[in-house]
Structure 1
Amino acid sequence: MQEYVGLGEELIFISMGLASIVAVAVFLERFLYFKKSMGKLNDTYLEEVRNSLQEEPEVNWKTNVSDESIYSRFVNFALRQLSLGKKGLDESLEGQILSEKLLLERRLPILNTLGNNAPFIGLLGTVLGVIKAFHGLGTLGSSGAEVVMRSISTALLATAAGLAVAIPVVMANNYFSRKAKVILQNLEILKKEFLSFQINKSKV
């Protein structure tokens, strides 16, 4: 029985190490994606787009924002829909927003899962370590107190490892979730501006 307890304790530490590697990999991938999608001129670009939609009879702005920018991609999609004169612009833009939402939230469930479960995995490691320590105390008696204390110390490291993984992962997940929320809200604003532009253009 104690062999399985010791093996389980080792597996807990291995799983914590793997979880930290996965978390770092997801964080770097999401960081690079958001950086590429946001670009450097998005605030200026959004202001130019909104001003043009509100003040100009035709949409004719130009910027050097990368086509990989999520806002530029959305605007180009909306412009294509307007140029084609298709009906159901509202549904088309809503579908594009949902498509962008899926891309923004990709792999975030991994961070959410790790952040929620890493402390419990660490706690399981601590429980296994305490079981091992008390078994040693019962076997060795008072002469094995030093060994038991070392076992308990190692067991507490599992909880510390779980928290060390969970805290930055939760912070990263909240950061990316907030970023995604702001981007989607800006896309909703652009959608309303395009719909208003379409209505005003049809009245001319």
Structure 2
Amino acid sequence: MQEYVELGEELVFVAMGVASVIALAVFAERLIYYKKTLGKKNESYLSEVRNSLQEEPEIHWKTDAGEESIYTRFIQFALRQLKLGRKGLDESLEGQILSEKLELEKRLPILNTLGNNAPFIGLLGTVLGVIKAFYGLGTLGSSGAEVVMRSISTALLATAAGLAVAIPVVMANNYFSRKAKVILQNLEILKKELLSYQMNKTKV
């Protein structure tokens, strides 16, 4: 049984290492994606579009925000729908928002899962380490105190590793989730203003 405990303890540290690598890869991928999606010129472009919807009789927007900008994609999609004069603009824009939401939240469940479970994996390592320590204490008696202390130290290290992985992962997940929420709220605002624009244009 002791062999399985030692193997489990080693696997916990391996799992922590793999989890940290996966979390780092997801963080880097999402950071690059959000940087492309939200360039520096996006906020000014968003304000320009909203002002055009509210003030100008026709909308012809040009932007250097970049084709990969989420707002650029959304506005270009809306303009195509308006030019074609299709009905059901509300449903079309809502579908586009849902499509963008899927992209914004892509891989975030991985961070969420790692952030929620890393402490428990570390705790499992601690439990296994304590079992190992008490087994050594029962086998070696008082003469094995040094070995027992080392085992307990390693056990506590597993919990520390779990927290070291979980805390930054949770922070990263919250950061990207907040970014996604703000973007989606802006898209909802744009949708409402575009529908209002279409309604006013129809009345004219």
Structure 2 letter corresponding to 1:101: K
| 1:182-202 residue CA offsets vs partner (Å, 9 max, x unmatched) | 000000010011001100111
Partner SS, residue 66 of structure 1? coil
Deviation at 1:41, TM superposition (A): 0.6
Runs ≥4 residues deviating over 2 A: none
- What does residue 165 of structure 1 align with? 165
Unaligned runs of 5+ in 2: none
- What does residue 72 of structure 1 align with? 72
State the alpha-carbon separation in 1 of the partners of residues 146 and 49 from structure 2.
Answer: 70
Structure 2 letter corresponding to 1:94: E
State the alpha-carbon separation in 2 of the partners of residues 148 and 78 from structure 1.
Answer: 68
| 1:68-117 residue CA offsets vs partner (Å, 9 max, x unmatched) | 00000000000000000000000000000000000000000000000000
Deviation at 1:15, TM superposition (A): 0.2
- What does residue 51 of structure 2 align with? 51
- What does residue 17 of structure 1 align with? 17
State the alpha-carbon separation in 1 of the partners of residues 188 and 173 from structure 2.
Answer: 22
Q: Give % identity.
A: 82
Deviation at 1:61, TM superposition (A): 2.5
- What does residue 106 of structure 2 align with? 106
| 1:18-51 residue CA offsets vs partner (Å, 9 max, x unmatched) | 0000000000000000000011111110111011
State the alpha-carbon separation in 2 of the partners of residues 14 and 63 from structure 1.
Answer: 48
Structure 1 letter corresponding to 2:139: T
The two structures, once aligned, show a CA RMSD in angstroms of 0.5
Deviation at 1:63, TM superposition (A): 1.8
- What does residue 137 of structure 1 align with? 137
Partner SS, residue 154 of structure 2? helix
- What does residue 40 of structure 2 align with? 40
State the alpha-carbon separation in 2 of the partners of residues 85 and 138 from structure 1.
Answer: 82
Q: How does 1:155-194 map to 2 (within 5 A)?
A: 155-194=155-194
Structure 2 letter corresponding to 1:130: V
**1:82 correspondence with 2:82:** yes
Partner SS, residue 63 of structure 2? coil
Partner SS, residue 63 of structure 1? coil
Structure 2 letter corresponding to 1:129: G
Structure 2 letter corresponding to 1:142: S
- What does residue 8 of structure 1 align with? 8
State the alpha-carbon separation in 2 of the partners of residues 140 and 61 from structure 1.
Answer: 79
State the alpha-carbon separation in 2 of the partners of residues 13 and 80 from structure 1.
Answer: 53
Partner SS, residue 193 of structure 2? helix
State the alpha-carbon separation in 1 of the partners of residues 61 and 106 from structure 2.
Answer: 31
Count of residues in Structure 1 that have an aligned counterpart in Structure 2? 204
State the alpha-carbon separation in 1 of the partners of residues 126 and 108 from structure 2.
Answer: 28
Partner SS, residue 67 of structure 2? coil
| 1:112-156 residue CA offsets vs partner (Å, 9 max, x unmatched) | 000000000000000000000000000000000000000000000
State the alpha-carbon separation in 2 of the partners of residues 60 and 131 from structure 1.
Answer: 70
